Chains A and B, each alone.
Chain A
Amino acid sequence: MNLLEVTDLKAGYGQAEVLHGISLHVEQGEVVVILGANGAGKTTTLRAIAGLIGRRGTVSIGGTLLRPGVPAEAVAAGLSLVPQGRGTFTKLTVQENLLVGATKRRDKAAVAQDIDRWYEVFPALSARTKQAAGTLSGGEQQMLAVARSLMSRPSLLLCDEPSLGLAPLVVRSVFDVLREINAEDGTAMLIVEQNAELALDLASRVYLLEVGEVVTSGSAQDLRHSDTVRRSYLGY
């Protein structure tokens, strides 16, 4: 059974429909990337799956059908979204940001252990535990956003443009961490990314989105060598 199963997903803002029936799936422990130009509906897809905006069609995680518009239910089912722009709680401390990420958990001791783990993975954060998160640099906030989202111990992590606005070195380290987490914990990932090169490196499968529809899908290996993907997203 697939971990995430999305069928005929339609969503939009107000009268404007952005997604015209998207179907996709993510298997247990798999890393899948969604490529597409600006305005193709990548972010909308993630937001609709996470339950932040209304939708039609079905979204299920591990066989549990999720109701639209109830993000808390998606979190409880094992989904976690790292939103575009990082969604930092700017006025809370770094530590509090991580604690909020663990809202749905009751196992206090294990939560404390997880916090220590992410401080080890992201040493930049451990030096700033009591600092307001709004004072962190963009890269540190991205790391905090990833760590915060992982605090719920998701089985599926959705990442919306983790590289946006970051220096190349920082981008590399964020992707390295994502790779490690996938390998160590078996956390499945659905990633939206402009940096196709990096994303294809990490992902095993790809969906190509154009104007709210899936136009191509396949293994990262195959798509890397397809002419359309190369020309449009890799630039050579």
Chain B
Amino acid sequence: MQFFLDRLFDGISNGAIYAALALALVMVYRATATINFAQGEMALFTTYLAWGLTTRHVPVFVALLIAAAAGFVLGAVSERTLVRPIEKRSLLATLIVLLGLFSVLNASDGLIWGKGNQSMPSLFPNTLQSYVSVFGARLYWANVGVWLLVAAVVAMMFGLFNGTRLGLQMRATANNRESAALAGIPVGRILMLGWGISAAIGAVAGVLFTPLTPDSLGLGEMFPLLIYASAAALLGGLDSPGGAVIAGLLLGVAEVMLSAYVPAIGGQLQEAIAFVAIVAVLLLRPQGLFGTKEVERV
């Protein structure tokens, strides 16, 4: 029981992070109909930025806010200057530009902050003693903090989408860009905003995820996370924010449980779980669990 709960808590934390990053991917997908390959690297760049600030004695919480704001600008500018001029040409061209952005961001991280791994300070108390016992298992405050913050981000996004004028305009633009323009929605601004918010969510995910493991802030940190988030976004349905969140949590828990209880997977084959999930979804249910199949009525 205790072993199971320990794993469950870890799984939910990882899952919450996957969920947040998957939500970011879904937002970009709904705006531009592409997977943003650079999503993870945008998150890494802003996480480095936050870490850099903390080394200059900026409180972690303030660093998080600055990172989110920087992420917003990074996302919005990428959409306006890189994606929009290219996307008219073809989907493939867009994907290649995003791969380019991936490597430029990663290389910039190395140039600015160096190649060695760093430890990111946590937003929450995370000494070995900061936990509560739940049936003998240790529920660390750091985990609870991640859950609550991700839950807050998700709640904010759903409030935005379903409760505001702006959210309605964003959903309309995602659904039918031309009709949105015809209704007078400033489509370009809405797309920039979608990318900006998406990268801001990524920044929060990065700053939350990194402190969960010591010495984990490094140039290769976000790639596995992107794979998991992509798997979650696909599993949930690429156009479904709710699906992304649920699938992120599912995958996070499944990953930890499988590697804990199936010795053959252990710590080495963890990433394979995400790939298996991606292939399985694409084969069996391409629209994901909660995504919509395009149906047009004539």
Inter-subunit contact B171/A91 (CB<8 Å)? yes
Q: A52-B178, A83-B179, A134-B297 are in contact. Are A91 and B184 (CB under 8 A)?
A: no
Judge whether A90 is part of the interface by a CB distance below 8 angstroms: yes
Q: How far is the CA of A156 from the CA of B169 in the complex (A)?
A: 23
The answer for the CA separation of A148 and B176 in the assembled complex, in Å, is 14
CA distance A28 to B186 in the complex (A): 28
Interface string of B167-186 (1 = CB under 8 A from A): 01101100110111111111
- The answer on a CB contact under 8 Å between B295 and A52 is no
Given A71-B181, A75-B182, A103-B169: A91 and B297 within 8 A (CB)? Answer: no
Q: Is the CB of B185 within 8 A of A72?
A: yes
Q: Given that A72-B186, A75-B182, A148-B183 are known contacts, is A92 also in contact with B297, CB under 8 Å in the complex? A: no
Q: Is the CB of A52 within 8 A of B181?
A: yes
B292 contacts the other chain (Cβ, under 8 Å)?
Answer: yes
- Does any Cβ of A come within 8 Å of B298's Cβ? yes
In the complex formed, the residue of A with least CB distance to B181 is A71
Which residues from 157 to 208 on chain B have a C-beta closer than 8 Å to any C-beta of chain A?
A: 168-169, 171-172, 175-176, 178-186
Q: A96-B168, A100-B169, A134-B295 are in contact. Are A90 and B184 (CB under 8 A)?
A: no
A71 touches B184 (CB 8 A): yes
| Interface members, chain A 42-96 (any B CB < 8 Å) | 50, 52, 71-72, 75-76, 80-81, 83, 87-92, 96
Q: Is A182 an interface residue (CB 8 A)?
A: no
A99-B176 Cα distance, complex, nearest whole Å: 15
In contact, A76 and B297 (Cβ under 8 angstroms): no
Whether A89 and B179, one on each chain, are in contact in the complex, defined by CB atoms closer than 8 angstroms, is yes
Cβ-neighbour of A99 out of B168, B178, B181, B184 (below 8 A): B168
| With A100-B168, A138-B298: A88-B183 Cβ-Cβ less than 8 Å | no
Assembled-state Cα–Cα distance A137/B175 (Å): 18
Task: Find out whether the CB atom of B176 lies under 8 angstroms from the CB atom of A90.
Answer: yes
The answer to whether the Cβ of A187 comes within 8 Å of any Cβ in the partner chain is no
Mark out the residues of chain B between 223 and 276 whose CB falls within 8 Å of any chain A CB in the assembled complex. 239
Q: Complex: how many Å from CA A90 to CA B168?
A: 13
User: When the two chains form their complex, are residues B184 and A72 in contact, meaning their CB atoms are under 8 A apart?
Assistant: yes
Q: What residues of A have a CB within 8 angstroms of the CB of B168 in the complex? A: 92, 96, 99-100
Is the CB–CB distance between A88 and B179 below 8 Å? yes
A155 within 8 A of B: no
- Please tell me if A36 contacts chain B, counting CB pairs below 8 Å: no
Cross-chain contact of A75 among B183, B292, B297, B298 (Cβ < 8 A): B183
* B 142-153 to A, binary, CB cutoff 8 A, 1 in contact else 0: 000000000000
In angstroms, Cα B19 to Cα A223, docked, is: 63
Which residue of A is nearest B295, CB measured? Answer: A134
Residue from B169, B182, B184 in contact with A87 in the complex, judged by beta carbons closer than 8 Å: B182
Indicate whether A152 reaches chain B with its CB closer than 8 angstroms. Answer: yes
Q: Which residues of A contact B169 (CB under 8 A)?
A: 100, 103
Footprint of B on A, CB under 8 Å?
A: 50, 52, 71-72, 75-76, 80-81, 83, 87-92, 96, 99-101, 103-104, 134, 136-138, 141, 148-149, 152, 165
4 closest A-B pairs by beta carbon, nearest first, are A75-B184, A87-B179, A104-B184, A71-B181
Residues of B participating in the A interface, judged by any CB pair closer than 8 Å: 168-169, 171-172, 175-176, 178-186, 239, 292, 295-298
